[in-house]
Amino acid sequence: MSEIEVNNVKNLLNNVSLISKKYDDLAEITGENFNIFNILGIYSSELNHSTFISNLLNVKGKHGQKDVFLKLFLEEISGYFNDDESIQSDILNSFKTEISNAETEKHIGKLNYENEEGGFIDVLINDGQNNIIIENKIWAGDQPKQLLRYNKQDVNAPIIYLTLYGKEPSPDSRGHLLCNKDFICISYAENIKNWLEKCIKEMANKPIIRETLNQYLNLVKQLTNQSVNNNMKDEIANIILKDIDSFISWKNLLKQQNSVLEKTIKNKIILLLEELQNEYKEKYNDITRCEIKCDGKIYSPLIVIESDSLKKKNLKIVFEFQSKNYNYLIGGYKFIDANNKDYSLASDFKIHFNGIPVKNSSSWPNFFEYWYFMNWTSNLEDLQNLIFGNFKEDLKGKIEVLLDMVK
């Protein structure tokens, strides 16, 4: 960019900053920033979102509203299956909501990828005769044969694939299954938002439930980049469209997004990890491997640590991205030999990482979602925390807990 273009970008940023501060101050005065779900760290935890949604869809849920929310949900997704006379459509249309029950993390047998069976269903709704399956994906990638396994469990069950923006499952997950025939894709950005707004209207005379739903709706809007005050949006748009110089400045900023991340990784993150690498080698003399890898590929580790103490328990410490482009970062213990599994550290792991959703899988005896630093490209808040927050200290603390647990 020329010097004039750089100055134009600076002026645009300064104007946007002033507008942003004005609305930040207003949000603080009105209490708009106070969100109980964010405070409790539920922001992008799939398990917690599944639990909340499942409770709303459960006629016996704590809300006490019977099947009101479930009926509204089924209305929201009606018509998504291509064939109105298909078995899946018929199940949705005739589902006995008043006697149904919703469960979270429903176990359907031992995981067997080869036979396409087993695993856990995020949300399962059953009316005594038929099932409705919801697979909830916020940042995590698909597991092998995932929708195929659910379909084999109940070939007639409508499968609802829920993501932030309605994307389709991976070819490996869906196999021969067809979208809008065997499963449907819905989104937080549109369907969950619409559903919650309808639920809020129904709860007009029930303030506690209404405001809880409002809080969750605000969280959904944050997740799907719809939370910015509309007046603020208009003001920023007006500045950008004011003249061609402002528009070109905005265009130049958009072009620099990837370079900002690349520069952050190269000039900050790699250096931080190298510092940690040297510190661990000095403090833990039984460490045999401390490898840094940061390439943004799916299932690519950020850092891998092995030691004699870990090896005795067939474990290594891994922080790994479950989605491409530096998204959905998880951390914990991973098996060295997948044929020799020991889950004995599970209870200690939950104690040490209390307040964080702790999970396990066939490869990971214990892992957690890395809140606040989890999605480097798909969530600007997490990128901000990465650049200006305490990433090194936080990561260091978590790794030292993991190392000390196996001493």
Question: Is-contact 136 52, C-beta < 8 A?
Answer: no
Mean pLDDT of 212-232: 85
pLDDT beyond 70 at 355: no
Question: Is-contact 229 28, C-beta < 8 A?
Answer: no
Each residue's pLDDT tens digit, 240-293: 999 999 999 989 888 887 788 778 877 788 888 888 888 887 888 889 888 888
Each residue's pLDDT tens digit, 304-353: 999 999 999 999 999 999 888 888 899 999 999 988 888 888 888 988 88
Structure confidence at residue 44 (pLDDT): 66
Per the listing, tokens 């989104």 go with 187
Structure confidence at residue 113 (pLDDT): 85
Mean pLDDT of 355-374: 84
pLDDT classification of 27: cutoffs 50, 70, 90: confident
Instruction: Phi first, then psi: give them for residue 143, nearest 5 degrees.
Output: -85, 160
Per the listing, tokens 């919703």 go with 102
Q: What is the mean pLDDT of the chain?
A: 89
Each residue's pLDDT tens digit, 376-396: 887 777 788 888 888 888 898
Close Cβ partners of 306 (under 8 Å, ≥ 6 residues apart): 287, 288, 289, 290, 316, 317, 336
Closest CA to 287 of 264, 309, 270, 268: 309
Structure confidence at residue 375 (pLDDT): 83
pLDDT beyond 90 at 361: no
